Chains A and B, each alone.
Chain A
Amino acid sequence: MSLDVARIQADFPILTETRNGNRLVYLDSASSAQKPVSVMAAMDELMTHSYANVHRGVYAIAEEATARFEAARRSVATFIGAGDTAELVFTRNATEAINLVAYSWGRANLHAGDVVVLTEMEHHANIVPWHMLAAEIGIELRWIPIDDEYRLDLSSLGQLLDGAALLAVTAMSNVLGTVNDIPPLVAAARAAGAAVLVDASQAAPHMSIDVQAWGADFVAITAHKMLGPSGIGALWARRELLEAMPPFLGGGEMIRDVRKDGFTTNELPWKFEAGTPAITEAVGWGAAIDYLEALGMDAVHEHEQALTSYALAALADRFGDGLTVYGPRSVDLRGGVISFLFPEIHAHDVSQVLDEEGICVRAGHHCAKPLMKVLQIPATSRASLYVYNNEADVDALVEGLSKAEKFFSI
């Protein structure tokens, strides 16, 4: 493997702690990743020495804070292949980024009967905003199904996109690990005259992404899954779309002028950033990106592919058909999110046993209830891998699962 995991683990204080006498094995990064010391230090340093509101004061620390905040925006933009920082709007998270699109672009451009195409593997964040718009203005939702290998079934893509105004698709499933090939989907949507929104929350932390190469119109990302703090995310969108869109939230920062009889909006990207933003969190996100770039996103991806391979083989070796893994078998089609279920043991019980061993996995519907319905299960357990995980973590998971299997056997 191309990453020095022991060295990386030393950068994450929480991973050196023990629970119930066990080393902490953190396998829930798909939910939220742990934070390296450098992220905490950058946030601490800003608050200790340079904290002030941004884009307002003319004193020195206000200028420092503004410079650090905007430098973080440049880091995020560069990280995802955006050419222009005006196209990078800070939000609270990816959920808010998608809601911004639904609320602003959707309300201005969609009308009763217009079609938004989703997929069966979307997170609730890329479903509910469209349900809300359907309830409000009567848009129609269509769903790209999944096939037996847990990939998108594109056999009816032309029909589904026929007459569609928007395709909203995840770049990587947070349940199945499936990585979707975005450029062909964008090409098909373009041919049908539809705009494209990509939910890259799950993909961006784990592989090099390039929003311009994708050719999408909107891309949503979040900091907390990529070693950064919670409370900040971003929407990338093409400039001409952002310029034409009405503002989302109103208040300070997003205005150029306010009078008794109205207001005019600020330039991009601040037009969509009402109120004091997450200043410290932006700086922390910048530090997280510095950390990932120092590792190299190709190396990160290679490490996770190798570890995912190892994990899938280890689970199959130990449990065979006794454990169902929901996701593509080939690592070429997937990332390091592994959902699994013992047919006779509930996901919550498995997670509880693992917790006793200091192993953190997610149990539940993973904010993807429509997908759970397609899979005909209420819940799975999910182990997800990141830069600080290694084969020893996978081995601990397999041992923990053996214990759970024995404990709950009828």
Chain B
Amino acid sequence: MDDLYRDYILEHYRRPHNFGVIDEPTASFEGSNPLCGDRITVQLGITDGVVERVGFTGRGCAISQASASLLTDEIKGKPVADVAALRADDLLDLLGIDISPARLKCAMLSHETLQKALAETDAASATPAPEGSPA
């Protein structure tokens, strides 16, 4: 159990970073985990091709909340192209824990939602959407 719920995971779960809504988001998407019905919303504030601001809302298990907290930290200040290039494996590396197949959807909820928020941005600017994540 301590392998999965490491101290830093629990810390991100209890006090998630970037939790909350942001002013005037340029992209926003609500994603859900089909396994348990959890929902999170990821909001992005993109300026000159850079993710300047990011926020997420919604409740979920410790794994999905910690994952959203770590992922939003990771993308803040990064060019959109770099964020779009983030793959499921990159997020698993960020989490740094072994995720069982049963919990993979929990870990990937923030990633899937982020990619969809980005796709929404791309659709708005009429450029091709990034490929979906393998998760």
Q: Which residues of A contact B (CB under 8 A)?
A: 346-349, 352-353, 356, 363-365, 369, 372, 378-379, 407-408, 410
Contacts of A347 in B (CB 8 A): 36, 61
* Nearest 8 A/B pairs, CB to CB: A346-B61, A378-B37, A348-B61, A379-B36, A356-B1, A364-B36, A349-B61, A365-B37
Query: Cα distance A353–B62 when bound, in Å?
Result: 12
B10 contacts across to A, CB distance below 8 A: 408
Residues on the A chain within 8 Å of B106, using CB: 348
Contacts of B38 in A (CB 8 A): 346, 378-379
Q: How far is the CB of B114 from chain A (nearest CB, A)?
A: 20
Per the bound structure, the CA–CA distance linking A347 and B38 in Å amounts to 11
Chain B residues within an 8 Å CB radius of A348? 36, 61, 63, 103, 106
Cα A372 to Cα B1 with chains together (Å): 28
B60 within 8 A of partner (CB): yes
Known: A346-B60, A348-B61, A352-B103. A369 touches B37 (CB 8 A): yes
**Chain A residues near B1 (CB, 8 Å)?**
352-353, 356, 407
Q: Please report the C-alpha to C-alpha distance between residue A356 and residue B62 in the assembled complex, in whole angstroms.
A: 16
Q: Tell me which of A363, A378, A379 has the highest count of chain B C-beta atoms within 10 A of its own C-beta.
A: A378
Q: B residues engaging A (CB < 8 A)?
A: 1, 4-5, 10, 14, 35-39, 59-63, 103, 106
A351, chain B: closest CB distance, angstroms: 9
Task: Known pairs A369-B37, A372-B37, A407-B1; list 12 more (Cβ under 8 Å).
Answer: A346-B61, A347-B36, A349-B5, A349-B61, A349-B63, A352-B103, A364-B35, A364-B37, A378-B59, A379-B38, A407-B5, A410-B14
- Closest Cβ of chain A: how far from B68's Cβ, in Å? 13
- Distance of A379 Cα from B26 Cα, bound (Å): 31
The docked-state distance in angstroms from the alpha carbon of A379 to that of B14 is: 19
Q: Are B103 and A379 in contact (CB under 8 A)?
A: no
Q: Give the docked Cα–Cα distance between A25 and B9 (Å).
A: 28
Candidate in B4, B14, B61 with the most chain A CB atoms within 10 angstroms: B61
Chain B residues lying within 8 Å of A408, measured Cβ to Cβ, are 10, 62
Contact A352 B4 (CB under 8 A): yes
A346–B14 touching, CB < 8 Å: no
The 18 sampled A-B contact pairs (Cβ below 8 Å) are: A346-B36, A346-B62, A347-B61, A348-B103, A349-B5, A349-B61, A349-B62, A352-B5, A363-B36, A364-B35, A365-B36, A369-B37, A372-B37, A378-B36, A378-B59, A379-B36, A407-B5, A408-B62
Residue ID in chain A nearest B4 by CB atoms? A352
In the assembled complex, which residues on chain A have CB atoms less than 8 Å from the CB atom of B39? 378
> Which residue of B has the minimal Cβ distance to A20?
B1
Closest A residue, CB atoms, query B14 = A410
Which residues from chain A contact B61 at a C-beta distance below 8 Å?
A: 346-349
Give B121 Cβ to nearest chain A Cβ, in Å: 27
B62 contacts across to A, CB distance below 8 A: 346, 349, 408
**Chain B minimum-CB-distance residue to A408:** B62
In the assembled complex, which residues on chain A have CB atoms less than 8 Å from the CB atom of B5? 349, 352, 407
Quick one: closest A residue to B62, CB to CB? A349
Shortest Cβ gap from B40 to chain A (Å): 11
Chain B residues in 8 Å Cβ range of A372:
37
Q: In the assembled complex, how far is the CB of residue A380 from the closest CB belonging to chain B, in whole angstroms?
A: 10
Which of B35, B37, B103, B106 is packed against the most chain A CB atoms within 10 Å? B37
- Measured CB to CB, the closest approach of chain A to B80, in angstroms, equals 31
For the complex formed, measure the closest distance between the CB of A201 and the CB atoms of chain B, giving whole angstroms: 21
**Minimum CB distance partner of B105 in chain A:** A348
Give the residue name and chain of the B residue nearest to A356 (CB).
B1
The residue on A at minimum CB distance from B60 is A346
A364: chain B residues at CB < 8 Å are 35-37
Contacts of A379 in B (CB 8 A): 36-38
A352 to B5, CA, bound (A): 10
Give the distance in Å from the alpha carbon of A356 to the alpha carbon of B2 in the complex.
10
Q: Report the Cα distance A372→B35, complex, angstroms.
A: 13
Complex Cα–Cα for A347 and B61 (A): 7
Q: Which residue of B lies closest to A355 (CB)?
A: B1
